[in-house]
Amino acid sequence: MARPNVGVLALQGDVAEHIAALARVDAEGIPVKTVAHLERVDALVIPGGESTTVMKLIERFGLADTIRRRVAAGMALWGTCMGLIVAAHDVAGVDQATLDLLDVTVRRNAFGRQNESAEVDLAIPALGAAPFPAIFIRAPWIERVGPGVQALAKRDGHVVMVRQGRVLGTSFHPELSADGRVHRYFLSMLHGDQRIGKASTAA
């Protein structure tokens, strides 16, 4: 089977880190900056960064409609940290444009500022029994989860990982960890693997 081509939105943020993490799980990470780039990939990762800036750049480069169209047609998409905010339905307390691909409400910087960043052993039942070393950096949390969304992990009672069909969102940064399980989980979604996605809902 050919290695999947996974686009990483290369407008800002942890682009190189995601490309390196994808290589470790035998996928081809491809920087995406234009509609032409986007049309050539099998899936898309929106990495961490600054959500208002990236959303403006997405609109400026004419990517928003193509991303929405590709996701509606079945393309898998994963937003990490800022990417989760961009993919969400709305942002609590802020009038902020989003792609509205996940039926969730997120709150920006909910776990604190840069100096309150932390690595947490996070229980993610869909990945197996071993905890995941989740790195939170100025991370959002999810305040509302729509009826079609699976909550896959929580930290201190707050939802931090969700899935809706082939759209995945994480508040944390798996690309900064040597543990490749979240990236492998995302790759399973490219082929419509529902078995893993339905394995468990976070307690």
Residues noted as catalytic: 81, 173, 175
* Token representation of residue 14: 């942890």
Supply the DSSP string of the chain, one letter for each residue: -PPPEEEEE-SSSSHHHHHHHHHHTT-EEEEE-SHHHHHT-SEEEE-SS-HHHHHHHHHHTT-HHHHHHHHHTT-EEEEETHHHHHHEEEETTS-------EEEEEETTTT--GGG-EEEEE--GGG-SSPEEEEESS--EEEEE-TT-EEEEEETTEEEEEEETTEEEESS-GGGSS--HHHHHHHHHHTT-HHHHTS----
As a whole number of angstroms, the distance between CA 98 and CA 153 comes to 23
- φ, ψ at 148 (rounded to 5°): -95, 10
Q: Which of 171, 201, 198, 168 has its CA nearest to residue 184?
A: 168
* Token representation of residue 25: 């799980």
